[in-house]
Structure 1
Amino acid sequence: MSKKIIAIVPAAGVGQRAQRDPADQPKQYRLLQGKPMLRWAVEALLADSRVDQVRVAVSAADPQAAAALQGLDRTVFRPCGGPSRAHTVLAALEDADLAHDDWVLVHDAARPGLPLPALSRLIDVCLAEGQGALLAQPVPDTVKRAGAQPVPETCVLTGAAPAAQPAVAVVAQTVSRDGLWLAQTPQMFQAGVLLCALQAALQSNKDITDEASAVELLGVAPRLVAGSVRNFKVTWPEDFELMEKWL
């Protein structure tokens, strides 16, 4: 018997970096082409019929999820959001009560441009190999590591202190991009593996930024599956206009 494929969309945050004004609504509910960004992201997951259900994890006081997701098949929202992404995904996993070998896709609400071919590639690889994987893209640009700006010395001739300079990052190192990939979502793992990984990472206070980083701490090497430039994460205020052009 085939195992279920459940998608989890953590949507309990507000997306502060995407806000021009503190009064702006959470970014997942900002409209793109007339629809909330969250709805676009869920519809992208539903485009592959192998996804049995999408479970959106929102904060307990969220007043907008019902309207944003109204009428979508195979979709539920659950008020189980936590203080961080990892806490939210873990709570959503526990709430879903899945079998150990069911599959879980975790997708960002801020990636509404996920193309169906990329999603299908990810599912195909995981089912064929029985291993977890994530969408990602090789880093195309030269990578710089920033360092502290050197403090100018006092003028040796006049003894005057240097004029104040605006804070700006400086290059400390050029990092080779060989073998570097930009992680995207969805990230797909068996439910039991992801559950154990998140529990262990949170209990040990490990700094994890995505599901794959938690699984890696178990000594597991997730597969990298080619993503798409359209699947970029809406992070900064100007990203909304760019995403609307893709949609």
Structure 2
Amino acid sequence: MSNSLGPYTVVMPAAGVGKRMRASCPKQYLTIKDKTILEHTVQRLLSHEAICHVVIALGEFDEYFPTTSLVSNNRVTCVIGGKERVDSVLAGLQSLHAEQEQWVLVHDAARPCVQHKDLTKLMTYCINNNHGGILAAPVRDTMKQATLRGIVDKTLDRSQMWHALTPQMYKTAELTAAIVDALAKGITITDESSAMEASGYASGLVSGSSDNIKVTQPEDLRLAEFILQQQEREFHLEAL
């Protein structure tokens, strides 16, 4: 790895309740092999040599985090998140020292399968190009635009369409200012890239692995478990 990479902080919004999972607890606290998704995700990030710190934005009345192993990890700090994802990201960003931590990554708590090679690829791209970027995957399926009645309106050209993934990496001061500005203007922010776009900043598309799934639906939990098992098996084979 280039000496120019890191150490970096990751901001992780984790204040959501995950209603689509239809579970008894927020999705980040569902377990895979006796560890919560949140623990899997944080440990995956902190095991990358360029990541030194994870800031987790929790719900104000989160009763689950204190039961995890992360509570005693001195490389993890917590802030109180907000109602929407963007509010939690902003809370995490405002806890940082932008002059000392010039770059920041933002990663979904429910993406435990992100690979180290993709993290390195994103970091290298951003540093080499001196602007932010996101992990993304090219759209493979035929894409349809629907009418309000749920009828196909037209078929879209997928050749320039990408699925936005995380992490997304930007200069800390620029991302913070872009989010504050977007919120003040009432612009809907669905990810960090959308805030940066609204402020006119460049966002590079860095092709990442499609197994970097987000656990959103109940069936995603089984898929994430399978992917983690496969990744662990591949890691052990490479180590032989």
| TM-score clears 0.5 | yes
Counterpart amino acid of residue 42 in structure 2:
V
In 1, distance between residues paired with 2:57 and 2:101? 21
Runs (4+) of structure 1 exceeding 2 A deviation are 1-4, 70-73
Confirm whether residue 213 of structure 1 aligns to residue 216 of structure 2. Answer: no
Partner of 1:8: 11
Partner of 2:237: none
Contact 2:134 2:169 in 1 (8 A): yes
Instruction: List gaps (5 residues or longer) in structure 1.
Output: 150-168
After TM superposition, give the deviation of residue 52 of structure 1 in Å. 2.0
Instruction: List gaps (5 residues or longer) in structure 2.
Output: 229-240
Confirm whether residue 89 of structure 1 aligns to residue 110 of structure 2. Answer: no
Scaled by the length of structure 2, what TM-score is found?
A: 0.88
Confirm whether residue 59 of structure 1 aligns to residue 59 of structure 2. Answer: yes
| Higher helix proportion | 2
Listed one character per residue, the Cα deviations across residues 78-109 of structure 1 (whole Å, up to 9, x for unaligned) are 2x211111111111111223327611100001
Contact 1:100 1:191 in 2 (8 A): no
Scaled by the length of structure 1, what TM-score is found?
A: 0.86
Match runs of 1:21-170 below 5 Å: 24-68=24-68, 69-72=70-73, 74-78=75-79, 80-99=80-99, 102-149=102-149, 169-170=150-151
In 1, distance between residues paired with 2:218 and 2:18? 10
Contact 2:59 2:82 in 1 (8 A): yes
In 1, distance between residues paired with 2:35 and 2:177? 36
Contact 1:136 1:184 in 2 (8 A): yes
Distance 1:175 1:100, change over 3 A: farther
Contact 1:56 1:77 in 2 (8 A): yes
In 2, distance between residues paired with 1:112 and 1:73? 20
In 2, distance between residues paired with 1:100 and 1:117? 25
After TM superposition, give the deviation of residue 64 of structure 1 in Å. 1.6
Q: Report sequence identity in percent.
A: 39
